[in-house]
């Protein structure tokens, strides 16, 4: 049985068929001047990162956040994402 690719929030499906991108959270943006972005780079599904999808580790931008960075990172630095990728 083939698993359907959709905007799912759980990452229990086979990682071999997923296309991942490396992104960091950009931080909150309540006044336009507050850009306290994160320093951890997460593995995020390529299809859902623009829709504020979850990373492999479960991290997700909050309601006051500004989403995922538009510029991809060079390598995943989140320990929980790395652990999931090693499986």
- Are the C-beta atoms of 85 and 43 separated by less than 8 Å? yes
- Are the C-beta atoms of 76 and 43 separated by less than 8 Å? yes
User: What 3-state class would DSSP assign to 50?
Assistant: helix
CA dist 23 and 61 (Å) reads 11
Its pTM stands at 0.70
Contacts of residue 65, Cβ cutoff 8 Å, sequence gap at least 6: 25, 26, 27, 28, 29, 52
* Average pLDDT of adjacent 10-residue blocks, the chain of 87 residues: 39 60 81 66 86 88 83 92 88
């Amino acid at each position: 049985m083939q698993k359907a690719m959709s905007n799912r929030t759980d990452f229990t499906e086979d990682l071999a068929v997923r296309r991942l991108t490396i992104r960091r959270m950009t931080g909150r943006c309540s006044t336009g001047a507050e850009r306290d972005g994160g320093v951890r780079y997460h593995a995020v599904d390529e299809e859902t990162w623009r829709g504020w999808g979850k990373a492999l580790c479960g991290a997700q931008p909050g309601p006051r956040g500004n989403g995922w960075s538009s510029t991809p990172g060079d390598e995943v630095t989140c320990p929980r994402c790395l652990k999931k990728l090693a499986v």
